[in-house]
Amino acid sequence: MYKASRFSPLTSIIRHTVITLPTPINISTWWNFGSLLGICLASQILSGLILSLHFTAHTDLSFYVVIQSFGDVYYNWWFRALHANGASFFFIGLYLHIARGLYYGSYVFKEVWSIGVVILLLVMASAFLGYVLPWGQMSFWGATVITSLFSALPVVGGDVVVWLWGGFSVDNATLTRFFGLHFVLPFIVAGLVGLHLFFLHDQGSSNPLGVSSDFNKVVFHHYYVLKDLVGACFFIGPLLGLVYFNPWLLGDPENFIEGNPLVTPHHIQPEWYFLFAYAILRAVPNKLGGVVALAAAVLVLFYMPVSPKTSVKGLSFYPWGKMLFFSLIGVFFLLTWAGSKPVEEPYVVISQVLSFLYFSYFALIGPITRIQDKLL
């Protein structure tokens, strides 16, 4: 006789996701960042919803509404600081999550990795759109510079820019549509995160050794739930410390000045988490070439699932691969530093050398690990 389940379909899905999910017994702290990113996404959506209740998307009002809300709306300063610094911590988690995937070969799960890269692109787009909303000097000029890049597209570039602006310059129509997109994109990201988890749980997590762990797994709860909670405490602690003690440390002072199309800031630069891509953009003298390099800096991640395969997943047993990987980490930090500098010598040449090294990793990592396979 058929026996009815004690759990509803929704309860069964949740139970399988966070309680009975079979998980490799040897995954390390580097696997904590998936859950931490989920916490960051939830925090950004909730704080953003609250901030949107006191925001007016208008070029004559946005800047003053943001400033006035600090004093007139209870705890608005706290939610705004949490939202701004939460974005920085979100990107810290994203970059560490991607670095872990590159090192341990998580890109062999093609669906999981590809959806993850799409999530990265949408989060980057949402962060850029959100940075424009306060309508400070860096917001206005950042929007002008980045949207103008589309004019480099052959034939349709000019029309695309006018369509993005909603006119012939960055103005009220631009701000309105940026606000609408910034509001919608996080919910699309949340949906893709669900799809990301679906494929991850279908294919199973990787592990530090890069070997099959089908016969050595434990249930997710309580082993990894407790581990994720500890990781969340260590992640949220510094975030709250920044919110309470130095909330504008990672911001740009120029953004406390209202956006003025007649006064160009001395040095236009994006938020720190975009500086590596900004350095790559500036490294190419040709405008179209710079745009292609900028896009390739992130889109190159789509190449990893189809890169040459190795006999052991990940770089744990490949010394040359490890050296190349940690060189990439150093190049990433140096590109971030170079992107914060003015467009002048020697920073342009440094950016060009670092950009070449950045793309070299993705071209060389496959052949180098294959050579080591043959030697062993």
> What are the tens digits of pLDDT across the range 164-219?
999 899 999 999 999 999 999 999 999 999 999 989 888 878 888 877 766 778 88
**Is residue 4 situated within a structural domain?**
no
DSSP SS3 for 213: coil
For residues 136 and 258, the answer to whether their CB atoms sit within 8 Å is yes
What integer is the mean pLDDT of 83-96? 96
Domain match, 163 and 291 both: no
Domain with 340, as residue range(s), is 269-375
| Residue 190: inside a domain | yes
Domain boundary among 205, 223, 251: 251
Check 47, 88, 228, 252 and give the catalytic one.
Answer: 228
Using CA atoms, how far apart are residues 39 and 235, in angstroms rounded to an integer? 10
For residue 346, say if its preceding peptide bond is cis, omega within 30 degrees of 0. yes
Structure tokens given for 37: 């990113």
pTM: 0.93
Question: Residue 203's pLDDT is what?
Answer: 81
83 is in an annotated binding site: yes
Same domain, residue pair 235 and 316: no
Q: What is the CATH number of the domain that holds 159?
A: 1.20.810.10
Residue 261 covered by a domain: no
Q: How confident is the model at residue 19 (pLDDT cuts 50, 70, 90)?
A: confident
Who has greater pLDDT, 210 or 98?
98
Segment 313-324, tens digit of pLDDT:
888 888 999 999
* Residue 262 within a domain: no
- Are 286 and 234 members of one domain? no
The answer to whether position 256 is within a domain reads: no
Last residue of a domain, one of 192, 224, 251: 251
pLDDT confidence of residue 174: 94
**Alpha-carbon span 261 to 227, nearest angstrom:** 50
pLDDT reported for residue 205: 81
> What pLDDT sits at residue 362?
95
| CB-based contact 282:335 (threshold 8 Å) | no
- Three-state secondary structure string covering 260-284: CCCCCCCCCCCCHHHHHHHHHHHHC
Domain count, the chain: 2
The reply to whether 273 and 247 lie within a common domain is no
Residue 167, helix vs strand vs coil: coil
The reply to whether 193 and 119 lie within a common domain is yes
Q: Is 16 a catalytic residue?
A: no
HSE at residue 142, side-chain half, CA atoms within 13 A, is 26
pLDDT bucket at 7, cuts 50 / 70 / 90: low
- 201 in active site: yes
What backbone phi and psi angles, to 5 degrees, belong to 24?
Answer: -55, 140
Q: Which residues pair with 217 in a beta bridge?
A: 24
- Give yes or no for a contact between 298 and 332, defined as CB atoms under 8 angstroms apart: no
Could you tell me if 2 and 9 are in contact, meaning their C-beta atoms sit under 8 angstroms apart?
no
In this predicted structure, which of 28-32, 160-164, 253-257, 371-375 has the lowest mean pLDDT? Answer: 371-375
The pLDDT score that the predictor gives to residue 6 is 63
135 shares its domain with 37: yes
Question: In 3-state terms, what secondary structure has residue 24?
Answer: strand
Taken in order 163, 166, 171, 173, the sign of the CA dihedral is negative
- Active-site entry in 16, 58, 201, 217: 201
Residue 10 is assigned to a structural domain of this protein: no
Q: 324 and 212 in one domain?
A: no
Does the structure show a pLDDT above 70 at 154? yes
Last residue in a domain, options 251, 283, 298 = 251
Residue 257 resides in a domain:
no
Same domain, 273 and 235: no
Q: Quick one: 241 and 300 in the same domain?
A: no
| Confidence band, pLDDT 50/70/90 cuts, at residue 23 | confident
**Pick the residue with more confidence: 309 or 347?**
347
pLDDT tops 70 at residue 2 = no
The answer on 290 and 166 residing in a single domain is: no
Catalytic position from the list 47, 205, 213, 351:
205
What DSSP letter does each residue of 99-141 carry, written as one string?
HHHHHHTGGGSHHHHHHHHHHHHHHHHHHHHHHHTT-BHHHHH
Amino acid in the structure at residue 172: N
Q: Does the structure show a pLDDT above 90 at 112?
A: yes
Quick check: is 228 catalytic? Answer: yes
From the candidates 54, 221, 227, 287, give the one annotated as an active-site residue: 227
- Annotated binding-site residue? 267: no
123 in the same domain as 41: yes
Active site residue 205: yes
User: Is residue 58 a known part of a binding site?
Assistant: no
User: At residue 1, does pLDDT exceed 60?
Assistant: no
pLDDT at 229: 92
pLDDT at 194: 93
Question: Is residue 111 pLDDT above 70, yes or no?
Answer: yes
Q: Are residues 22 and 73 in the same domain?
A: yes
Q: Is residue 85 part of a domain?
A: yes
CB-based contacts of 297: which residues, under 8 Å, 6+ apart? 276, 277, 280, 358
Query: Residue 135 — left, alpha, or beta (φ > 0 → left; ψ -120 to 50 → alpha)?
Result: left
Phi and psi for 96 in degrees, rounded to 5? -70, -35
